[in-house]
A and B are shown apart, each in its own frame.
Chain A
Amino acid sequence: MAALNKVLDVAGVSKRFGANEVLSDVSLQVDKGETVCVLGPSGSGKSTLLRCINWLERPDAGQIYLNGQRVGVSGAGIAMSDRDLSKIRTRVGMVFQHFALWPHLTVLQNLMEAPVQVQRRPKAEVRDEALALLEKVGLVEKRDAFPSRLSGGQKQRVGIARALAMRPDLLLFDEPTSALDPELVGEVLVVMRELAHEGMTMVIVTHEMGFAREAATRVLFLDRGRNVESGPPEQFFAKPETERARQFLQRYAGDTANGKH
């Protein structure tokens, strides 16, 4: 049944900050194993959309379902308790533009913190898994380093491993390579590509057009808070339907070459 495969369902979400309508009636469904890339100019509401998914922002209208469970609102339309919200959030991993690692913890501790403290999983098991994840992102030798001692690319690989350590059903990426020096972008995209191949379910906000073209199962183009266009990447990049998307792609044409590391 298709419905069982649906990890994320964003249904008609709107959000405004004061008079500024940042999201207007945005819908998005993501099936298990999909990599959806969200594209759009700066200020178009991409971050806000991601932040609504794990309820860092409360949408003004619309619903969000994670594996069929309503996010942020419990049965009778009451705001969800912190406990339930926290449970949902641990099933959604988030990767931040500026890494947002916890500066007082070592790399390994960053990975173990939420699984041990929030999910209350046994420490030994979490530690083994965290080390395996560090192996996977190529940073096992940095496990006892503090984040401040790492390069941007290394920090972001730790950021991805930290999100994976919670065994999430869904990973959200908010411009994971935008803060990186160009020569460090590749090492992060390699990890993300691998996750896509392994069938991790991901929603990725990015300006890396090359990556989106290759790795996305679907792209969603946001402009001024509206879902202007969405579809398979081959179609979007070759024959965008709207003038807005065409202009946007022209502006980022240079990045298409860049992204193919």
Chain B
Amino acid sequence: MIHDFGIVWTERALLLSGLANTTILSVLAAIASLLLGFALTPALMSKHLAVSGTARVFVDGMRCVPFLLFAYIVYYGLPSLGLRWDNWTSGLFALIVYNTAYMAETLRGAWVAQPREPIEAGVAFGFSDLKLFRRIILPPLLLSAGPVIGNQTIQIIKDSAFLTIIALPELTHAASSIQSRHYVPFAAFITAVFLYWGLCLVVEAGVNSVGRLAEARR
């Protein structure tokens, strides 16, 4: 058994590059889906039924599709519509679009739970448009949505493992290559599990520091 971990150690470069790719994928997907989620949130809350209805169908639809299936559709299905992307583009696109739905729904929940009066005070004190959003609406929203955004980021990290099926060289893919090359499944996969765990701990540390900021203001 120790010997098996020794073999994994000799393949550390492969594992580390998988870890790096998983990190890059997750960070890009988390940031992009958060930003797109922000853009989608007003649509979800729009008074125009056509707008809010369309946004709602997208969000609810996405949330009911298993991510693995969605990734299949993007990578294998879209080419038949003439969209042919490499595995990186497809994987990133799938992660971002899928998680935008979750982020938008999370932010909508936090947004409606915000007290209206401070925002109205912002308007009464001369804030409008982007400045109102940036200075008055956004900061308390991020503080209250922080933990849920963190959870969703962890979900993104885990979902990125599915991208191994489109041969994206992320962490699960690296572990899987090592095990098939050397027949050390337990050692290879357990090592990957610990690396995922480490990533999640980093995200949780971030969530906790946002939580502390929020706590001081609650």
Contacts and interface: CB of A to CB of B under 8 A. Distances in A.
Interface stretch (B16-24, B41-49, B119-127, B170-178): B119-127
B135 interface: yes
A64 to B, nearest CB: 14
Contact of A56 (B115, B120, B131, B140): B120
Contact of A90 (B120, B126, B131, B135): B126
A6 interface: no
Contact of B217 (A54, A96, A104): A104
B127 A117 contact: yes
B217 A146 contact: yes
A52 interface: no
A102 B118 contact: yes
Contacts of A102: 118, 121-122, 136, 140
Contact of A86 (B121, B128, B136): B128
B121 A100 contact: yes
Contacts of A118: 125-127, 131
Interface in A36-66: 54, 56
Interface string A60-91: 00000000000000000000001001110110
Interface of chain B: mostly helix, strand, loop or mixed: helix
A82 B126 CA distance: 9
Given A103-B217, A146-B217, A56 B143 contact: no
A90 B118 contact: no
Given A98-B117, A103-B217, A148-B218, A114 B128 contact: no
A94 interface: yes
B126 A89 contact: yes
Interface string B135-168: 1100110010000000000000000000000000
B216 A101 contact: no
B123 A82 contact: no
B86 interface: no
A96 B117 contact: yes
A113 interface: yes
Contacts of B131: 117-118
A88 B118 CA distance: 19
A186 B53 CA distance: 50
A7 to B, nearest CB: 17
Interface string B38-76: 000000000000000000000000000000000000000
A86 B118 CA distance: 16
Interface of A: 54, 56, 82, 85-87, 89-90, 92, 94, 96, 98-104, 113-114, 117-119, 146-148, 162, 166
Given A86-B126, A147-B217, 18 more contacts: A89-B126, A90-B126, A100-B117, A100-B121, A101-B118, A102-B118, A103-B140, A103-B217, A103-B218, A104-B139, A104-B140, A113-B135, A114-B127, A117-B127, A118-B126, A146-B217, A162-B125, A166-B125
- Which 10 pairs across A and B sit closest by C-beta, in order of nearness? A100-B117, A100-B121, A118-B126, A114-B125, A86-B126, A104-B139, A90-B126, A89-B126, A94-B124, A82-B128
15 contacts: A82-B129, A86-B126, A89-B126, A90-B125, A92-B124, A98-B117, A100-B120, A102-B118, A102-B136, A102-B140, A103-B218, A117-B127, A118-B127, A118-B131, A146-B216
